[in-house]
C-alpha cells in the first residue's frame, strides 16, 4: 500500500495552530434542536459542554461548536438565538483547554465566540453569506475554514448542478480563497473544505472524495466533513430505506481513513473515537513507509 505522505506535515500548516504529524479530528457539537445528525441531543448548554468534554476524552483535536442547523431545507435562526446557544458552550470548552472552532456564517456570532475563547472560525458559506465575516477574521488574525457553498440551506439543493463537479468546486474554492485574501485574511490561515452535501448530491460527493488530490492542489490544508451525511445513508440503504443517521459512523470512519490517506488536514465528525483511531493508523502506516525496510529485504 502506498500512502502519499504529505511532505510538509499532515495537510500543511495553518498559522496560529500547532503542527501535527497526522490528520486532525474535529468533533462536532451542534447546539441546535434540528441538526440532521444529532439535532436535539445537545440543545442545552450543559449537555453540549458534557458532550464536548467526552469528545475531547475520545481524542478530538478540535471542537466545532455551531448554533444554526445547515441541513438541507433548514430555516435560519436569528443572530441573537444563535449567539445565546453557542456563547456559554464555547466559553466553557475553551476554559477547559479545548481548541474551539465556531461554526457560523455571521460576523456577529463569530465575534461573540472569539470573545468567549474560540480560536478558529468555520464559515460554511466561505465568506459569501456575510461580507463582514472575512473582515472580522482578518482583523482577529485567526484560522478560517472556507467551505464550498452556493446558497443558504433552504434552496441549496436547487443549485446541485455541475458539468464537472471536481473542476467547478476547485475553481469556486479558488475564487473564495482569492476573495477572503482580498478582504485581508492571511492566506496561511485558510483551510479549504469541499462542502460535501452543500449544493451537492451523492454522486457529486463521491466524485469529490475520489479526487481530493485536485483540491490539495489549491495549496491550502483541507477539511473534510462527511460525517453521517445522507450520501452514506444512501450507500448503505436497504431497499428505499436509508441507513439511519446514527448508524453511519462506521462508514464515516472509512471516509476518515481515505481522507487522511489523501493528506487531509482534518476531518469533521460526530463520532470521534473511531476517526481518532483511524487517523493514527494512517499516520503509522505512512511513517513505516517512509522508513527504510528494517529487513533490507525484497518482500
By beta-carbon proximity to ligand PMM, the closer residue of 114 and 286 is 114
**268 in catalytic set:** yes
By beta-carbon proximity to ligand PMM, the closer residue of 36 and 286 is 36
By beta-carbon proximity to ligand PMM, the closer residue of 52 and 225 is 225
Check residue 263 and report its DSSP letter.
T
Q: How far is the CB of 289 from ligand PMM (least distance, A)?
A: 29
Q: How far is the CB of 199 from ligand PMM (least distance, A)?
A: 12
* Of 24, 92, 220, 268, catalytic: 268
Angstrom distance (rounded) from CA 100 to CA 117: 7
Burial class of 76 by CB neighbour count within 10 A (0 to 12, 13 to 18, 19+): middle
Pairing type for strands 223-224 and 190-193 reads unpaired
Name which of 71, 85, 101 is nearest 31 in CA terms.
Answer: 85
C-alpha cell at 157: 439543493
Contact call for residues 205 and 232 (beta carbons, < 8 A): no
Q: How far is the CB of 76 from ligand PMM (least distance, A)?
A: 14
CA distances from 153 to 12, 25, 72, 93, 277 (A): 30, 25, 5, 28, 32
Nearest residue to ligand PMM, by Cβ distance, number only: 225
By beta-carbon proximity to ligand PMM, the closer residue of 92 and 268 is 268
Burial 36-56 (b: 16+ CB within 10 A, else e): bbbbebbbebeebbebbbebb
Q: 93 CB contacts (<8 Å, ≥6 apart)? A: 29, 49, 52, 53, 63, 65, 100, 117
Q: How far is the CB of 221 from ligand PMM (least distance, A)?
A: 12
Residues that bind ligand PMM (CB under 6 A): 28, 30, 35-37, 70-71, 103, 122, 124, 145, 147, 193, 195-196, 223, 225, 268
Q: How far is the CB of 220 from ligand PMM (least distance, A)?
A: 13
Q: 74 CB contacts (<8 Å, ≥6 apart)? A: 34, 68, 153, 154
By beta-carbon proximity to ligand PMM, the closer residue of 51 and 286 is 51
* Of 229, 243, 248, 273, catalytic: 229
C-alpha cell at 75: 430555516
Dihedral sign of CA atoms 279, 280, 283, 284 in order? negative
By beta-carbon proximity to ligand PMM, the closer residue of 129 and 196 is 196
Q: How far is the CB of 86 from ligand PMM (least distance, A)?
A: 13
| Catalytic (active-site) positions | 229, 268
Amino acid at each position: 500500500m502506498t500512502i502519499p505522505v504529505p511532505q510538509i506535515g499532515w495537510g500543511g500548516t495553518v498559522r496560529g495552530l500547532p503542527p501535527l504529524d497526522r490528520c486532525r479530528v474535529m468533533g462536532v457539537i451542534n447546539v441546535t434542536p434540528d441538526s440532521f445528525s444529532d439535532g436535539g441531543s445537545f440543545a442545552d448548554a450543559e449537555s453540549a459542554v458534557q458532550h464536548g468534554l467526552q469528545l475531547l476524552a475520545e481524542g478530538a483535536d478540535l471542537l466545532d461548536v455551531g448554533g444554526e442547523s445547515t441541513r438541507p431545507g433548514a430555516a435560519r435562526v436569528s443572530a441573537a438565538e444563535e449567539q445565546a446557544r453557542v456563547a456559554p458552550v464555547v466559553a466553557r470548552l475553551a476554559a477547559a483547554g479545548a481548541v474551539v472552532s465556531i461554526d457560523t456564517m455571521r460576523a456577529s456570532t463569530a465575534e461573540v465566540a472569539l470573545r468567549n475563547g474560540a480560536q478558529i472560525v468555520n464559515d460554511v458559506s466561505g465568506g459569501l453569506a456575510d461580507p463582514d465575516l472575512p473582515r472580522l477574521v482578518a482583523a482577529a488574525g485567526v484560522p478560517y475554514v472556507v467551505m464550498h457553498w452556493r446558497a443558504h440551506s433552504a434552496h441549496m439543493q436547487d443549485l446541485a448542478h455541475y458539468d464537472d463537479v471536481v473542476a467547478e468546486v476547485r475553481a469556486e474554492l479558488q475564487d473564495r480563497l482569492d476573495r477572503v485574501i482580498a478582504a485581508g485574511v492571511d492566506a496561511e490561515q485558510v483551510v479549504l473544505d469541499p462542502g460535501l452535501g452543500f449544493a451537492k448530491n451523492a454522486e457529486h460527493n463521491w466524485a469529490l472524495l475520489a479526487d481530493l488530490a485536485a483540491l490539495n492542489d489549491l495549496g491550502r490544508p483541507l477539511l473534510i466533513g462527511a460525517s453521517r451525511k445522507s450520501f452514506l445513508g444512501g450507500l448503505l440503504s436497504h431497499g428505499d430505506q436509508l441507513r439511519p443517521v446514527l448508524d453511519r459512523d462506521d462508514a464515516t470512519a472509512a471516509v476518515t481513513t481515505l481522507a487522511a490517506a489523501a493528506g487531509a488536514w482534518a476531518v469533521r465528525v460526530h463520532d470521534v473515537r473511531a476517526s481518532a483511531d483511524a487517523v493514527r493508523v494512517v499516520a503509522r502506516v505512512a511513517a513505516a513507509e517512509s522508513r527504510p525496510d528494517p529487513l533490507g529485504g525484497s518482500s
